[in-house]
Structure 1
Amino acid sequence: MLNLIGALALNTAVHCGYEGEVRAIGLARQPGSGELVYCEYHLPARGQRSRVLYYSPAGHRIAEKKLESRGGGSPHNTPRPQVRQQDYRHGEERQVLWKGSVWQLRYRQAGGASWESARLEAHQADVVDAGFDAFVRQNWSRLAAGEPVEFSFASPLHGRAVTLRARKVTCKKGGQGTLCLQVDLAQPLLRLFAGNLYLVYGVGNRQLRTFDGIVNLLDSEGESQRLRIDYHYP
């Protein structure tokens, strides 16, 4: 009950507007100023489906993501859920769908733009979108032991699978009871030209606490943005 009250108080404090049932709330802020940019509301799974709602601080729903597992069970427990994401401000859409025996990647930059499509064989995608959380839990022992883990990430934005590397790093703050990871491009030369992701997981529950890096939601002008997202679990 105290956790629920705390979550409701948090929701009210940030003025993002959604009042329904949630399994997690993410507050996305500018890394420097701490200004709130948007809120993520991760809804409980309903069978094989779940949703993530994105709200502006003014209380407007600006985007939505739909997740669906392919083989039954919750989409939160698979590294490769099907994904449909739509931005209601400028119409950008990202999709990773299972079609027959292949993955279909679809992307369009705006509502009136043409779709860009690509296909991946089943073995070419280890992780799809939010499935990275399930991938971390599946590889927890290796990551906690300091072993770098490479994986192929299906990116509809790029129309291909991108090979990434996750590895344990020293936590920027404290570190007790947490596992801190850095995710970057697997190819050494390309790392010089691309940013990385910094993630903090709680050791006890293996839940994501902090995400710092390029987010999967564009800004209001349709440009990429680097934010810090802190997650809270009712």
Structure 2
Amino acid sequence: MSNAGNCIAIGLLLAGGAVIASAEQTIRFEGTAESLETGATVYTEHHVQTGECRDGFWEPSNHEVTYRSPEGDIIADKTIDYGDAPARPSFTLEDKRFGERMQVSNPEDEHVRIQYRSSSGEETSYRVQAPDNGVIDAGFEVMVRQNWQTLVADGKTVQIGFLAPTRGKFYAFKAEPAEKEALEGKHVFRISVAGWVSSWFVDPIHLAFNEQRQLTDFHGLTNILRTPEDNFRAHIHYDHDSAPGCH
């Protein structure tokens, strides 16, 4: 079984309070993934995201990603629906080369439904209850923005539960401020195991954000297949044309 879908995604919901929202916007940005082994570009990401500013930070509602080979061919695509719990979105990721498909549905933010088809054609499904501090896929961006004060100003650790879709289980992880010279963003965070976990994931993931709270770097295991059995380990550099203008 491959590690697809095991790419780190983290998040934590804010406590209650007044919500100040603005009109919906659409933003676009791109990412270039460079292999941690060779340094060569292995694929590019092309993002289209809709959302709005809430309480001074960007909160996405829908997200489409197209993954292309260095030659420009589409190798995978992904759709994300952030729903009522942006840290635990529903998503579908389909690999065009090896036939792998992951679908995670979280409509009521209670029981997460997972349908997975591996590159070998084997199909599995799970139904798991989402914990209050649970995180699914790209919810890590939402988590960082919502916990900016804790992570950046206070320099503290945030405990989260990360969904490993191919295993149908949330695992204990932690997000904390860190340093990593290779990353370009001003604010760097390390996502690592908070306790014992099986060998499917050992190395931490590093993320970096700029002052506008936009993701500038991802460093570690990705959710894109390198072979039918293994995923790329890469440094992804993100290029944003503009910020959504949240204040």
Normalised TM-score (structure 1): 0.78
Q: Are residues 189 and 45 of structure 1, via their aligned partners in 2, closer, same or farther at CA, if it must alter by over 3 Å? A: closer
- Other-structure match for 2:139: 131
Where do 1:36-51 residues align within 5 Å?
36-45=41-50, 48-51=61-64
SS of 2:141's partner is helix
Quick one: which amino acid aligns to residue 163 of structure 1? A
- 1:122-147 CA-to-partner distances (Å, cap 9, x unmatched) read 33662110111001111111111221
SS of 1:57's partner is coil
- 1:85-141 CA-to-partner distances (Å, cap 9, x unmatched) read 00010111112102564111222212x623211112133662110111001111111
Query: How far is 1:69 from its partner?
Result: 2.5
Higher strand proportion: 2
Q: Are residues 32 and 225 of structure 1, via their aligned partners in 2, closer, same or farther at CA, if it must alter by over 3 Å? A: closer
- In the alignment, is residue 217 of structure 1 matched against residue 224 of structure 2? yes
- Other-structure match for 2:215: 208
Percent identical: 29
Q: Are residues 64 and 32 of structure 1, via their aligned partners in 2, closer, same or farther at CA, if it must alter by over 3 Å? A: same
- Other-structure match for 2:118: 109
Task: Tell me the distance in 1 between the aligned counterparts of 2:77 and 2:205.
Answer: 22
- In the alignment, is residue 29 of structure 1 matched against residue 38 of structure 2? no
Structure 1: gaps spanning 5 or more residues: 1-20, 72-76
Query: How far is 1:171 from its partner?
Result: 3.7
Comparing both chains, which one has the higher relative contact order based on Cα–Cα distances under 8 Å and sequence gaps of 6 or more? 2
Task: Tell me the distance in 2 between the aligned counterparts of 1:141 and 1:194.
Answer: 28
Quick one: which amino acid aligns to residue 49 of structure 2? P
- 1:40-95 CA-to-partner distances (Å, cap 9, x unmatched) read 01113289432110000111101001111323xxxxx9211111100010111112
Higher helix proportion: 1
Quick one: which amino acid aligns to residue 31 of structure 2? G
Task: Tell me the distance in 1 between the aligned counterparts of 2:186 and 2:196.
Answer: 27
Structure 2: gaps spanning 5 or more residues: 1-25, 52-59, 242-247
- Other-structure match for 1:179: 187
SS of 1:216's partner is strand
Normalised TM-score (structure 2): 0.74
Q: Are residues 157 and 174 of structure 1, via their aligned partners in 2, closer, same or farther at CA, if it must alter by over 3 Å? A: closer
Runs of 4+ in 1 over 4 A off after TM superposition: 188-191
- Other-structure match for 1:66: 79
The aligned length equals 205
SS of 1:105's partner is strand
SS of 1:142's partner is helix
